[in-house]
Amino acid sequence: MNIQTLLNQRVQAAMVAAGAPETAPAVVRQSAKVQFGDYQANGVMGVAKQLKTNPRELATKVLEHLDLSDLAEKVEIAGPGFINIFLKDTWLGSEIKALRSSERLHIEEVAAPETVVVDYSSPNLAKEMHVGHLRSTVIGDAVVRTLEFLGHSVVRQNHVGDWGTQFGMLLAYMERLRAEQTEISMALSDLETFYRAAKTCFDDDAEFAVRARELVVALQSGDEECLALWDEFINISLTHCEETYQMLGVSLERQHVMPESAYNDDLQNVVTELEEQGLLQESAGAKCVFMEEFANKDGEITPVIVQKTGGGFLYATTDLAAVRFRQHTLGADRVLYFVDARQSLHFQQIFTLSRKAGFVKEQTMLEHMPFGTVMGSDGKPFKTRSGGVAKLSDLLTEAQQRAYTLVAEKNPDMSEEELRNIGRVVGIASVKYADLSKNRTSDYVFNWDSMLSFEGNTAPYLLYAYSRVASIAKRAGIDVSALESGVNINTEQERALAVKLCQFEEAVQSVANDGMPHFLCAYLYELAGTFMTFYEACPILNAEDDIKNSRLQLALNTASTLQLGLSLLGIETLERM
């Protein structure tokens, strides 16, 4: 049940009945303070201004048409024309009861599912995945899971970079190793080292550099031997990515890989079509699109270059082909791109040009979901202690190790096997959650101590809270799933918890709509805090049967909500830690 949506509909209907235009929004929000009720409708002021009437008078009229008696015990006008809504305790109790009856916690699938194409992770295969890929991979996956949960049809697209001049150098190095009878798969076990070695040859050895360039040409003209070599490289590199996905618990698989090279045959068509539409212009031998939208204050336009002087195509050309494919073959209603904020201009240009060229339907949404950089404590992009880029797989191994040490200290009696498992879950969850809980658009500092802390908005705190709440039900010693009795809201703390539980769907929907998992993280953190306050004030297991059964249901709901919420974020829970 999404209370916000329900109230929006009701208030809006009342506003229209009171003379407001159909399009006037009711602007229902959760209230910031208890004295303003549980929800506030703030739309009246805007409409009153538009209609040039007194907002309080308009609000009074709206109330005459607003019947919320089924769910609210009080509706009042405050200040210049806010409408404060106070939910009924009995209604909250019955909502909690309803939540209990469904595994989906009463969140219905959307009535009109959309086809949502999500471009995420998308590393370059020439190198190892590094910390910079964490954000796209983890945030993208949380949004994908949430969209699927809500009933949308999601198409994952891992737009990996598997093409470009750097592959000439890598293939030349593979050739050399082969000639020296070195085991290639061994050499490729660490792509970072491999890349560096190849680069050194390229820089220091003129003959090697010539061969590397030859191989680029051979690759592009479809030379079979060269393609076989390239295939081998790509395959190994993708296997490395998949190991990282598995460690991370990310739902990307081989079938979701739609590499840059897949669009090669279509790139000329893209250019021809732009040409036919009169959108192209030559500039210093390159084919470019100049769009007024991208002029700076001096009127200079940053062009989109779609073909280089020598005939080569670019990153942008591939992205234009990808837009067409996503529209026409995948049938996208929405396309979401989880890509670094530094590529914002690129995407704005691709989107604008795709519309001008008719590559997408008018109603199709193209949305860049930019994210900030992971920083080190020195305020620069995060590096390893030795100053290199931090390999994602190394980072995840370290996280598990650190978490293991922490948990082992707290639980000296636990078996080694259980400790390892808890270390794995907590370590991975900590890295993911630290990323997911930050506002996507800002940079954040990567800090082991804060992400592994048991206090604050962290994975260890939430996982621990979950295991504690879940254990209460077990300790009750009754079959809680069969509890028939009602949920009665009598105390302030029960009420606060009930309201919070009813707001889960709102948090879930904001992840799907805005691609911002940190809203859900903040919600879960607040929920855990609200529960702790409730648990301190309202004893459960020692209370009389009626009260005990009612409170147990609140506790169970909290556990289910935490678990479902974390699973939408792609985070495993533990029954014991």
The residues binding ligand ARG (CB under 6 A) are 119, 122-124, 159, 161, 319, 322, 337, 339
Angle at 497 between CA 491 and CA 503, to 5 degrees: 140
DSSP H/E element including 88 = none
Collect all residues with Cβ–Cβ distance below 8 Å to 499 and sequence separation of at least 6.
Answer: 38, 87, 92
What gap in Å lies between CA 208 and CA 204, rounded to an integer? Answer: 8
Least Å distance between CB 289 and ligand ARG? 17
Quick check: helix, strand or coil at residue 138?
A: helix
Residue 37 or 161: which CB sits closer to ligand ARG? 161
Least Å distance between CB 157 and ligand ARG? 8
Residue 121 or 563: which CB sits closer to ligand ARG? 121
405-to-137, 174, 239, 287, 410 alpha-carbon distances in Å? 27, 40, 29, 57, 9
Beta strand 281-283 with 286-289 is antiparallel
Collect all residues with Cβ–Cβ distance below 8 Å to 20 and sequence separation of at least 6.
Answer: 47, 51, 58, 62
Residue 142 or 556: which CB sits closer to ligand ARG? 142
Least Å distance between CB 339 and ligand ARG? 4
Residue 127 or 211: which CB sits closer to ligand ARG? 127
Measure CA 345 to chain center: 21
In 10 A of CB 285, how many CB atoms? Answer: 10
Least Å distance between CB 127 and ligand ARG? 9
Residue 8, both tokens? 């929006």
Q: Among residues 46, 68, 44, which one has the least CA distance to residue 58?
A: 44
Residue 86 or 337: which CB sits closer to ligand ARG? 337
Quick check: helix, strand or coil at residue 334?
A: strand
Residue 367 or 418: which CB sits closer to ligand ARG? 367
Q: Are 521 and 570 in contact (CB under 8 A)?
A: no
Q: Among residues 247, 39, 142, which one has the least CA distance to residue 521?
A: 142
Beta bridge partners of 374: 444
For residue 92, the one-letter residue type is L
Sign of CA dihedral 453, 456, 462, 467: positive
DSSP H/E element including 30 = strand 28-30
What gap in Å lies between CA 95 and CA 560, rounded to an integer? Answer: 15
DSSP H/E element including 341 = none
Residue 141 or 175: which CB sits closer to ligand ARG? 141
Residue 119 or 505: which CB sits closer to ligand ARG? 119
Residue 60 or 115: which CB sits closer to ligand ARG? 115
Residue 26 or 126: which CB sits closer to ligand ARG? 126
Residue 161 or 427: which CB sits closer to ligand ARG? 161
Least Å distance between CB 129 and ligand ARG? 10
Beta bridge partners of 321: none
Quick check: helix, strand or coil at residue 96?
A: helix
Quick check: helix, strand or coil at residue 566?
A: helix
Least Å distance between CB 331 and ligand ARG? 18
Least Å distance between CB 123 and ligand ARG? 6
Least Å distance between CB 187 and ligand ARG? 23
Residue 335 or 564: which CB sits closer to ligand ARG? 335
Least Å distance between CB 342 and ligand ARG? 9
Residue 95, both tokens? 């909502």
- Residue ranges of E strands in 94-219: 115-119, 153-157
What gap in Å lies between CA 66 and CA 75, rounded to an integer? Answer: 9
Residue 315 or 454: which CB sits closer to ligand ARG? 315
Least Å distance between CB 124 and ligand ARG? 5
Least Å distance between CB 496 and ligand ARG? 43
Residue 10 or 368: which CB sits closer to ligand ARG? 368
What gap in Å lies between CA 122 and CA 133, rounded to an integer? Answer: 8
Q: Among residues 53, 56, 70, 4, which one has the least CA distance to residue 31?
A: 4
Residue 556, both tokens? 């169970």
Least Å distance between CB 250 and ligand ARG? 16
Q: Which residues of 532-566 are buried (b: 16+ CB within 10 A; e: fewer)?
A: bebbeebebeeeeeebbbbbbbbbbbbbbbbbbbb
Least Å distance between CB 161 and ligand ARG? 4
Least Å distance between CB 277 and ligand ARG? 22
